[in-house]
Amino acid sequence: MKVFKKGAIIANEGDNDYDLYVVMEGTVGIYKGNVLIKEFNKKGTIVGEMSVILKLPRTATIRAVTDITLLVLNADLDQLMQNNPDIIKKIIKNLAERLRDITDDYYHLAEKIYIDEMK
């Protein structure tokens, strides 16, 4: 477990690390530039999985929105699949929920643009 104070950067966009972070307490934010994209505060939520899955630099900055306690896992996807399939199931569920949310957001944005164009 690791504790981060409010405002602390947990991982920077562009970093080449492959840690997974599991929210235990508090709120973590995902930022592109200085824009807050999404906040997570549900215990057990996993963040940082894209870098682990894609083996690419971080696509966003992870920052503590409040004081936060995270479980930090240095992750190798192959090892996780072999040794802890429950985490893989959780990652897949998280990704599916986020894709659903993004699809809904995209629909509402497209609908607004369409309505604005019809005026």
pLDDT in tens, 73-111: 887 888 888 888 888 898 999 899 989 998 999 998 898
Q: What percent of the chain has pLDDT over 90?
A: 61
pLDDT of residue 83: 86
pLDDT of residue 76: 81
Cα–Cα distance measured from residue 3 to residue 17, given in angstroms and rounded to the nearest whole number: 19
**Cα-based distances in Å from 90 to 69, 96, 100:** 19, 10, 15
The tally of CA atoms less than 13 A away on the side-chain side of residue 67 is 1
The tally of CA atoms less than 13 A away on the side-chain side of residue 49 is 17
Alpha-carbon Rg for the chain, nearest whole angstrom, is 16
pLDDT in tens, 33-68: 889 999 999 999 999 999 988 989 999 999 999 999
Cα–Cα distance measured from residue 20 to residue 44, given in angstroms and rounded to the nearest whole number: 12
pLDDT band (50, 70, 90) for residue 13: very high
Residue with tokens 């996807």: 77
